[in-house]
Amino acid sequence: DAKTTQPTSMDCAEGRAANLPCNHSTISGNEYVYWYRQIHSQGPQYIIHGLKNNETNEMASLIITEDRKSSTLILPHATLRDTAVYYCIVRVPYGGSQGNLIFGKGTKLSVKP
């Protein structure tokens, strides 16, 4: 089973920041938090990942709480093309079955004009 809990759906106004929460209260010390998104029925696309420090790249920012039991993905200026299902996944970042991605149902983000 997925180790994360996410809201089923969220709306965001175009141009505003989208903040997607994720709970992972049973995360282990060696597990990273990964975010992927899936637009329409395309293959999932990697967004960002982190261990315990906040991370930022050209797509998004990831804020992880100090106790690592929850995190928030931030899309700073959402566009209509960011409408997608967003998956929060915890996993170890190396080989074997421990490194498998286990998907939940994700959050359906709808960006509205």
Partner 1 sequence: NAGVTQTPKFQVLKTGQSMTLQCAQDMNHEYMSWYRQDPGMGLRLIHYSVGAGITDQGEVPNGYNVSRSTTEDFPLRLLSAAPSQTSVYFCASRETVVSGNTIYFGEGSWLTVV
Binding site for partner 1 (CB under 8 A): 2, 32, 41-46, 49, 87, 93-97, 99-106
> Which strands make up the sheet holding 55-56, listed edge to edge?
18-23, 70-75, 61-64, 55-56
First-to-final CA distance of the chain: 35
Q: Which is nearer to partner 1, 12 or 86 (CB)?
A: 86
Q: How far is the CB of 60 from partner 1 (least distance, A)?
A: 14
Q: How far is the CB of 14 from partner 1 (least distance, A)?
A: 25
Q: How far is the CB of 112 from partner 1 (least distance, A)?
A: 21
* 71 closest CA partner among 107, 113, 108, 112: 107
55 with 48: CB under 8 angstroms? Answer: yes
Q: Which is nearer to partner 1, 14 or 104 (CB)?
A: 104
Q: Which is nearer to partner 1, 17 or 102 (CB)?
A: 102
